[in-house]
Every structure is written in C-alpha cells, then in structure tokens.
Chains A and B, each alone.
Chain A
Amino acid sequence: NAGVMQNPRHLVRRRGQEARLRCSPMKGHSHVYWYRQLPEEGLKFMVYLQKENIIDESGMPKERFSAEFPKEGPSILRIQQVVRGDSAAYFCASSPPRQNSNQPQHFGDGTRLSIL
C-alpha cells in the first residue's frame, strides 16, 4: 500500500547545475501536484498535471522550471541552472480522478534541495 513516493529525499547541487525531482503517485491516482516550501513559509502551489498533460502551471516560475507526467513513469520536476534561491523542500501530492473538489491530496515526504 505504497503512498506517494518522492526521490531523492535530499539533493545537493552546485549553482548552474540541473536538479531533477521525481514523484510516483499513489496507485490509482492520475493527478499530481507539485508544491514548494521555503524555510518558515507555507506550501506554494507550483503545477498541476494529469497523465501527459499540464493542467495548471500558474505557480511555476517562468524560466528554468519545467514539469512533466509521462504516460509511463513518475512525474518529474526539473530545475535548470539552479540558483541559491531554489533551495527549498519540494513536495508532490496526488489525488484520484474525481468528480468534485472533495478529494484530499496525499503528499509524499518531499525532496530537500540544497544549492551550494
């Protein structure tokens, strides 16, 4: 009964490198959300995806950030040319296909990204 799986749990990158964060949703879940939590702040929505589709990316920075959720495999959040300000905890959440908004999201334990 695996929950939402995120890897790696911790990722260290130097400025200018690329960071790839992976998220496998719960079994039967086809909706994936990515959130970022900066120190002492709440969860900031980044992007909402369904299989092979980006539904809402209004929270994504315009440059360097991209996300995908392919037909097969995990969802990937990709950050190119990382900068110190990208250091944060990145959480993935999933939910099942739904008929209404009354479906709580299930979260992974996050990836802590540190930029040197």
Chain B
Amino acid sequence: DQQVKQNSPSLSVQEGRISILNCDYTNSMFDYFLWYKKYPAEGPTFLISISSIKDKNEDGRFTVFLNKSAKHLSLHIVPSQPGDSAVYFCAASFTTSGTYKYIFGTGTRLKVLA
C-alpha cells in the first residue's frame, strides 16, 4: 500500500527550462510535505517543504505546489541547471500516537541536459 506515489521514475529536461516533478498521496492525515534531493552515493538532502495549510511555497528556483483536494503536490525547478540532475524524493509526514511518521515516494530521476 503505497501512500506516497511518484509515478514518473525518470524525467529529462533541457537546461534553462522548467522541471516539474509530481507526487500523489492517499492519506488525508498527512499534514506536512517535503522534497529531498539525492545524488549517487550520498544521503538525501532536504530541499523544500510545505504545510498542508498552504498551497504554495517558494525558495529561489524551487517552488512546491499543493493541491489538497486532488491529493497532489508538485515541485517546480526553474530554470533547470545540470547540477539539478539527481533523484528527487517526495515525502509526507503526519502525527500518530504522539510520534511523527514520514512516508517516502519511490523517487524520480531528473536529468538536466546541457
């Protein structure tokens, strides 16, 4: 039962264009969503997040959009740069029994072409 889904395993984008990575979730209890970036042989690095009470959060070239009614969020990177080539994980968290649980998607491999 995959509660957080990233249906596109890979994405290729030309340098300077917009990259859009998508994520769908099923659990309406999630109250916080995060994006992580992962390079080979390294651990995931936190990129940007959004609370469930917001629909948009922006940080430089990175913007995350949340559509609660559709249970969908997306990460926009503009303009895309070759250094953005990595695997991007979407994650969602919620509180249960006083603790916090994070559920990760399977990742989308982004390749930015120079």
Interface residues of A (CB under 8 A from B): 4, 6, 33, 35, 41-45, 48, 55-56, 91, 93, 98, 100-110
Contacts and interface: CB of A to CB of B under 8 A. Distances in A.
B103 interface: yes
Given A42-B89, A43-B89, A48 B43 contact: no
Contact of B43 (A44, A55, A110): A110
Contacts of B95: 100-101
A8 to B, nearest CB: 14
Nearest to B107: A42
B47 to A, nearest CB: 9
Contacts of B104: 35, 42-45
A41 to B, nearest CB: 6
Contacts of A107: 36, 43-45
A56 B99 contact: yes
Interface residues of B, number: 26
Contact of A55 (B31, B36, B49, B99): B99
Secondary structure at the B interface, as helix, strand, loop or mixed, is strand
B2 to A, nearest CB: 9
Interface string B75-105: 0000000000000010001110001111111
Contact of B44 (A44, A91, A103): A91
A42 B99 contact: no
Given A101-B95, A103-B100, 19 more contacts: A33-B102, A41-B106, A42-B104, A42-B105, A43-B44, A44-B104, A45-B101, A48-B101, A56-B99, A100-B95, A101-B93, A101-B100, A104-B49, A105-B46, A105-B102, A106-B46, A107-B36, A107-B43, A107-B44
Interface centre among B44, B49, B101 (most CB of A within 10 A): B44
B103 A45 contact: yes
A80 B106 CA distance: 27
